[in-house]
Amino acid sequence: MHGVRSIFAAGFAALLLAVAGTAAAATTVEDIRVWTENGRTRVVLDLSGPAQHNIFTLRGPDRLVVDLTNSRLSQKLSGTLPTSGAIRSIRSAVRSNGQLRVVLDLNEAVRSRSFAAGPNGKYGDRLVIDLQGRGPLQAVKQAADRYQSGRDIVIAIDPGHGGHDPGAVGRGKTREKNVVLSVSKLLAERINAQPGMKAILTRSTDVYVEHRERMETARRARADLFISVHADAVDDPRPQGSSVYVLSLKGASDEAAKRLAERENASALVGGVHLSDKDQVLASVLLDLSQNAALSASLDVGDKVIRELANLGPVHRRTVQQAGFLVLKSPDVPSILVEAAFISNPSEEKKLRSETHQRRLADAILAGISNYFHANPPPDTRLAMNLKGTSGGSRQHVIVRGDTLSEIAERYNVSLGTLRSVNNLSSNSLKVGQKLRIPATAGS
Ligand SMILES: [Zn+2]
């Protein structure tokens, strides 16, 4: 008994020394890694040295706070931090007492535990945090709640090309099929974290899928929107920026749009699919009957998406373009095609490979989609029911000194894009005393 006690005391003294030793040089959080398995989410903070920590959870909205004594976040973590499983987003701030506060915004209440781990193999000091979602009973209750309060909006995301069809290839050998798959997966993750929205992917691995099969996947899932993700390419290395296309019933909006559609459609032949004469006739009849409605929705959602993409940098075309893309020919599902950037432009090729930029693209596309569905919620959805339930009493926020638009969006659980669009804000600047309308969210 005494033996244990003295070992403990010695350990404690060593810990105090270690803390005293690190008081001058702050510990750096070099990396944050997140992954999910069997309903459990693990977060690992890779540290430059040991650091004292304290964690606690907060409700409404659910979040987990990690305070690290005398620590800083590495410069390279300045972009968007990873999310997965129970974690919706990660933020951090250095507090006046030198503590680094890392806040994990959660999709649900969790049980948590944390422990420090010393250097081991290729890893240095780490802080490990495990989050366990609530049990299966809770899942059943959530499913029941969902049933009573309307269905999810379903977004079918279609990463272009795949398998033997690489799509466009950049000068640095980047293949369109790979970068659009990454962007699509990030977008699906973001959509699935939105209450009342669900994403499905037409492919989630490096396989070739025929155009028709892609549309069928969306149809079977009763998708409210089909969004095909691509990267543009031309011989000239200079053109840059995103474009958004919808199907044209008459002809391409211009010669460049026509050539692009021909390039994107060519993979249908590579995959062995021919749009036969019979299909053309059938397609035109179906298109006449129901596509006018879907097309007007497509134009509307496309417009919201290109507006959000324009916030990331110069866009190739400011307005929605039209061309005869085969993959957009579902007669009843509003469909858009996003050319995220020019893979033929060396600096955009580099950006397309960066996960930070891929996340920005996914966020911008999500903001556009979310704006559209907040303005046009399909009637049987959870979003429509929530918007109806609160339409008489939408909230208001009066700006005080120090408020930022992103903090307000976060506080009320609405997207930045939605907040901007319902208040007709063209920039993020705010005036003290200004009143913002806070739209109802699907989750509230
Ligand atoms: Zn493509």
Residue type, 92: S
Interval between CA 299 and ligand 1 midpoint (Å): 20
How far apart, in Å, are the Cα atoms of 213 and each of 129, 150, 312, 324, 327?
A: 41, 28, 32, 18, 9
Domain assignment present for residue 380? The answer is no
Residue by residue, pLDDT tens for the chain (444 residues) are: 444 444 444 444 444 444 444 445 789 999 888 887 767 788 889 999 988 888 888 887 888 899 998 898 888 887 767 777 788 888 888 888 888 989 998 888 888 888 888 887 788 888 988 888 765 545 555 555 545 568 899 999 999 999 999 999 999 999 999 999 999 999 999 999 998 999 999 999 999 998 888 888 988 898 999 999 999 988 899 999 999 988 876 666 677 777 777 777 765 443 333 333 334 444 444 344 445 667 788 889 999 999 999 998 889 988 898 877 777 776 678 889 999 999 999 999 999 999 999 999 999 999 999 999 988 888 888 888 887 765 444 567 777 777 788 888 877 778 888 888 888 888 878 887 788 888 766 444
| 226 contacts 333 by C-beta, under 8 angstroms | yes
Q: Are residues 77 and 166 in the same domain?
A: no
pLDDT of residue 54: 87
Residues 273 and 306 in one domain: yes
Confidence (pLDDT) at 291: 56
Mapping DSSP onto H, E and C, the string for 216-262 reads HHHHHCCCCEEEEEEEECCCCCCCCCCEEEEECCCCCCCHHHHHHHH
Report the alpha-carbon distance of residue 60 to residue 298 in Å, rounded: 36
Ligand 1 centroid to residue 295 C-alpha, Å: 21
* Distance from Cα 162 to the centre of ligand 1, integer Å: 10
Other C-beta atoms lying within 10 Å of the C-beta of residue 382 = 22
Q: What is the pLDDT of residue 293?
A: 67
Among the three residues 105, 134, 163, which one is the final residue of a domain in this structure?
Answer: 134
How far, in Å, is the centroid of ligand 1 from the Cα of 293?
26
Q: How many angstroms separate the alpha carbon of residue 339 from the centre of ligand 1? A: 7
How far is it, in rounded angstroms, from Cα 214 to Cα 203? 8
In whole angstroms, give the CA distance from residue 41 to residue 175: 31
Which tokens in the block code for residue 283? 């397609």
Q: What is the pLDDT of residue 270?
A: 37
Q: List CB contacts of 165: < 8 A, sequence separation 6 or more.
A: 177, 208, 267, 270, 271
Query: Is 218 found in the same domain as 72?
Result: no
What kind and span of H or E run contains 156? strand 153-159
Is 325 a member of any domain?
Answer: yes
- Give yes or no: residues 317 and 176 share one domain: yes
Question: What's the CA gap between 326 and 123, in Å, rounded?
Answer: 49
- Ligand 1 center from residue 110 Cα (angstroms): 41
Cα(276) to centroid(ligand 1), Å: 22
Q: For 187-199, b where at least 16 C-beta lie within 10 A, e where not — what string? A: bbbbbebbebbbb
CATH number where 400 lies: 3.10.350.10
CA–centroid distance, 433 to ligand 1, in Å, is 47
Handedness of CA 123, 128, 133, 135 (dihedral sign): positive
Gap from CA of 234 to ligand 1 centroid (Å): 12
| Claim to verify: residue 163 and residue 89 sit in the same structural domain | no
Query: Would you state the pLDDT for residue 134?
Result: 62
Ligand 1 centroid vs 236 CA: distance in angstroms? Answer: 17
The DSSP bridge partners found for residue 46 are 31, 126
Measure 329 CA to ligand 1 centroid, in angstroms. Answer: 16
Q: Count the domains in the chain.
A: 3
CA of 168 to the centre of ligand 1 (A): 6
Please tell me the distance from the alpha carbon of residue 46 to that of residue 162, in angstroms, as a whole number: 35
89 and 170 part of one domain: no
Q: Are residues 165 and 248 in the same domain?
A: yes
Domain CATH for 70: 2.60.40.3500
Do 287 and 200 have their domain in common?
yes
Non-local CB neighbours of 23 within 8 Å, separated by 6+ positions:
70
CA nearest neighbour of 105 among 133, 76, 65? 65
Q: What spacing in Å lies between the alpha carbon of 179 and ligand 1's midpoint?
A: 11
Q: Domain for residue 270, yes or no?
A: yes
Distance 161 CA to ligand 1 centre (A): 6
**Residue 361 counted as domain residue:** yes
439 Cα: distance to centroid of ligand 1 (angstroms): 36
pLDDT of residue 183: 97
Residue corresponding to tokens 């866009």: 315
**Is 286 part of any domain?**
yes
Could you tell me if 205 and 284 lie in one domain?
yes
Q: How far is the CA of 266 from the centre of ligand 1 (A)?
A: 10
Ligand 1 midpoint to CA 343 (Å): 10
Per-residue DSSP letter, 26: P
Give the CB-side neighbour count of residue 101, counting CA atoms within 13 A: 12
Q: Are 127 and 166 within one domain?
A: no
- Distance from the CA of 426 to the center of ligand 1, in angstroms? 31
CATH of the domain at 180: 3.40.630.40
* Residue 148 belongs to some domain of the structure: no
121 with 266, same domain: the answer is no
For residue 306, report the distance from its CA to the centre of ligand 1, in Å: 17
Distances (CA, A) of 243 to 181, 230, 272, 302, 348: 18, 10, 28, 9, 14
User: Quick one: 432 and 290 in the same domain?
Assistant: no
β-strand partners of 27: 71
Please indicate, yes or no, if residue 384 is contained in any of the structural domains.
no
pLDDT of residue 47: 92
Residue numbers of the domain that contains 115: 25-134
pLDDT of amino acid 186? 97
Beta-bridged to residue 87, according to DSSP, are: 84, 106
Q: Is residue 184 part of a domain?
A: yes
Instruction: State the distance from the centre of ligand 1 to the C-alpha of 109, rounded, in angstroms.
Output: 40
**Cross-sheet strand order for the sheet of 40-47:** 71-73, 27-37, 40-47, 126-133, 110-117
Amino acid at 97: N
Q: Residue 47 Cα, ligand 1 centroid: separation in angstroms?
A: 41
Give residue 177 CA to ligand 1 midpoint distance, Å. Answer: 8
